[in-house]
Amino acid sequence: MQLRQLGNSDLHISPIGIGAWAMGGAGWAFSWSKQEDSDSISAIHAALDLGVNWIDTAAVYGLGHSEEVVSKALAAYRGPRPLVFTKCERAWDSTGQIIKSLAPASIRKECEESLRRLNVDTIDLYQIHWPEPDEDIEEGWETLGQLQKEGKVRWIGVSNFNVAQLERIMKIAPVTSLQPPYSLIRREVEPEVLPFVRKNNIGVIAYSPMGSGMLTGKMTRERVQSLPADDWRIRSPMFQEPSLTRNLEIASKVIQLAEKLGRSPGEVAIGYVLQNPAITGAIVGFRNAEQVTSLKGVMDIALTADEMAYLSGR
């Protein structure tokens, strides 16, 4: 498998990484509903066996539980240790209420707690989860730079930042990576953000390349309506009108091309994202080993210019 260098770092990552959002399980504001830890661990092991060499999680996923599941999976794995990426800025109080903070004391506490839950001495990539509060991003980024100098984290990046925000923090310390949402149903980063990061040697690890399940070939209007009440997608504009009809039409095009190519729809959807030269890797939220198997061909998929144009509507 061909590895890709992540921005200005010495990290070389596989084209796809393991996304651990859903592995946080139920019981928090942005849950994907119930998730068995045993299924999560099996999915992680299956992906690592295929050559995937990085895992992306966050402290807030499951209010710490996702990081604990990742730790358990790695402790039980006998192969090479993957890179572990996590995030700060989303903390929570004793009631489970999520707190948005870029205060230095909060980030330092979050970092120490992530190190403990993950059972690692150093975090390979530490990211600011959201640029919130916006007025504090410089202070927060300066703290990440200090953590890097202290050896708590190897490399530092951000998620969900726009160009203006990137320009502000680049004056303080180099940005290794950006993690934006990017898929056929969310292409907002194509005109401005992706050209900017490519020009400035900032790696990109795209999240939700399958549109949070919309582009897997299994999502229908009926399935959307039957999502569990604690699945965050039931409240997402992407799964409601007027976006729902548009997104299902895009999903239909993905399915049609996948059938023509003898691929799974998920492989085609992720292939579109990986084909962009600004993208270093894509985060895939596996929930069981079977899903890993269904997407194992994604790392060698190559779409033609005509196929890309068909998918993008050009």
Catalytic residue list: 61
* Residues 290, 258 contacting (CB under 8 angstroms): no
Helix axis angle, 104-118 to 65-75, nearest 10°? 30
Task: State the CB neighbour count (10 A cutoff) for residue 99.
Answer: 12
Distance CA 43, CA 21 (A): 13
Local structure of 265: helix, strand or coil: helix
**Among 304, 284, 303, 308, which Cα is nearest to 13's?**
284
Phi, psi of 16 (to 5 degrees): -125, 150
| CB burial readout 169-195, b (16+ within 10 A) else e | beeeebbbbbbbbbbbbbbebeeebbe
Q: Count Cβ atoms within 10 A of the Cβ of residue 135 and give its class: 0-12 exposed, 13-18 middle, 19 or more buried.
A: exposed
Cis peptide, bond prior to residue 180, ω within 30 of zero: no
Quick one: which H or E segment has residue 16?
Answer: strand 16-19
